[in-house]
Chain A
């Protein structure tokens, strides 16, 4: 069974660092891109960025560039999302998802997200 298992809920203080994880199983981890999506309380979905675990090629949404870091460890089929200094506005649910991507003439096209993790709740409060 193809699945993405995310790490548990986190409660942090402003200024602290954090790294959440997304462990993949049931498919070739290095052959698919993994994306991250934010959902703030009561709000909609926001695409943050993606990583190709095969070579760690990483791309970010303009809104999240420089705010978070996406990484992956293919030896343990796990992708990560991390913050170096959390803010209260980072309070949200974060989902990882497998994303279909194709490259045509050096341009990457991002398709659908077909397998989702259950999400990790991050609460940042003093």
Chain B
């Protein structure tokens, strides 16, 4: 199955805002509001940052926000901090003869 498409890398300076895109199809991102975003620091387990397109779990900074337009979801991080440097993955429910979850290929965020 095809992974969702994310840019391989993005970068920004402390205090700036960045946006990571996640492009799918009408069978996944575009068809359902079940997009999630995960942060993964090196050697650590992923951490849920955004669920159901735009909701933040308790304890996640409000500097993280999510949105969706058509087949593309986006994660925006405002007020970049050094600790935001990590890999970010989007995921979505996908419909098929056997429904499952598809992840994006991941985006490496570098804080300059």
Interface residues of chain A, those whose CB is within 8 Å of chain B, are: 35, 37, 44-47, 49, 59-63, 65, 95, 97, 99-100, 107-114, 116-119
Q: How far is the CA of A46 from the CA of B1 in the complex (A)?
A: 10
Q: With A44-B89, A61-B100 in contact, do A112 and B1 touch (Cβ < 8 Å)?
A: no
Is A116 within 8 A of B45, CB to CB? yes
- Taking the closest CB of chain A, its distance from the CB of B10, in whole angstroms, is 16
Is A62 within 8 A of B1, CB to CB? yes
For residue B57, which residue of chain A has the nearest CB?
A: A114
Which among B45, B51, B100, B106 is the interface contact of A47 at CB below 8 angstroms? B100
User: How many pairs, one residue from A and one from B, have CB atoms within 8 Å of each other in the complex?
Assistant: 80
Q: How far is the CA of A88 from the CA of B36 in the complex (A)?
A: 31
- Taking the closest CB of chain A, its distance from the CB of B33, in whole angstroms, is 10
Q: How far is the CA of A117 from the CA of B103 in the complex (A)?
A: 18
Residues of B within 8 A of A100 (CB): 51
Is B100 within 8 A of A113, CB to CB? no
Q: How far is the CA of A93 from the CA of B36 in the complex (A)?
A: 21
- Taking the closest CB of chain A, its distance from the CB of B18, in whole angstroms, is 19
Is B36 within 8 A of A47, CB to CB? no
Task: Report which residue of A44, A45, A63, A99 has the largest number of chain B beta carbons within 10 angstroms of its beta carbon.
Answer: A45
Is B101 within 8 A of A110, CB to CB? yes
Is B93 within 8 A of A47, CB to CB? no
Residues of B within 8 A of A97 (CB): 46
Is A63 within 8 A of B45, CB to CB? no
